Amino acid sequence: MAKQFPQLEPHHHSFIAAQHMFFTASAAPTGRVNMSPRSTDMFRVLGERAVLYLDRTGSGNETAAHLRLDPRLTIMFCAVAGPPLILRLYGQGRIVHRDSAEFAEQLARQFGGEAPLGARQMVHLDIELVQSSCGYGVPLFEYQAERPQMDAWARAKGVEGIEAYWREKNQVSGDGFPTGLFEGPDAVTSG
């Protein structure tokens, strides 16, 4: 039932645009595999072989730490409404540092030049393989709305509070790997 494609096809673009959530999966050469759910409001398709999402503050920063050590990244979309389908994007990921020229350029081009409070970096995926599968086993759910808690939390923390949170919670992964959050856009990684 699975089908493979070398790049995103037009029907994949339509499917992605209709989704409200996606998942990222990453892993360092050792330690735990991380999978995180994310809202598609910050996801952008850059072309047939590249996608990007604006990464907002979270309880950890596992994807950034993992990509520094091993650039493998999988993004998965899963229909929970409408026709069943699972779409996985496999490839090489990298972090776009918030102080880089690329971040500013993509922010202007893809997000109208405005980052939500608490935007800590972008994650870019160069797609090597697109795979779809049936999704028949995925239950149906009804989308209600985006949760307001992320924006409320960020407003309550403010810029200084968010930076303090990043310094306390987002500099090292759960397995102790550095995330590079405060190293600047030209930091050398071993990945």
Per residue in 47-101, pLDDT (tens digit) is 999 999 999 999 999 999 999 999 999 999 999 999 999 999 999 999 999 999 9
On whether the CB atoms of residues 86 and 76 are closer than 8 A, the answer is: yes
Q: Categorize the per-residue pLDDT at 189 as very low, low, confident or very high, splitting at 50, 70 and 90.
A: low
In this model, does residue 20 exceed pLDDT 90? yes
Q: In whole angstroms, give the CA distance from residue 98 to residue 89.
A: 24
pLDDT for the residue 188: 53
Overall CATH class of domain 3-169: mainly beta
The amino acid at 27? A
Read off the pLDDT band of 154 (50, 70, 90). very high
Per mean pLDDT, which range of 8-17, 31-40, 178-187 is the poorest?
Answer: 178-187
Q: Which helix (H) or strand (E) holds 122?
A: strand 119-133
Domain coordinates of the chain in residue numbers?
A: 3-169
The CA distance from 8 to 187, in Å, is 31
Q: Tell me: pLDDT of 187 over 90.
A: no
Question: What is the average pLDDT value for the chain, to the nearest integer?
Answer: 95
Side chain identity at residue 150, one-letter code: M
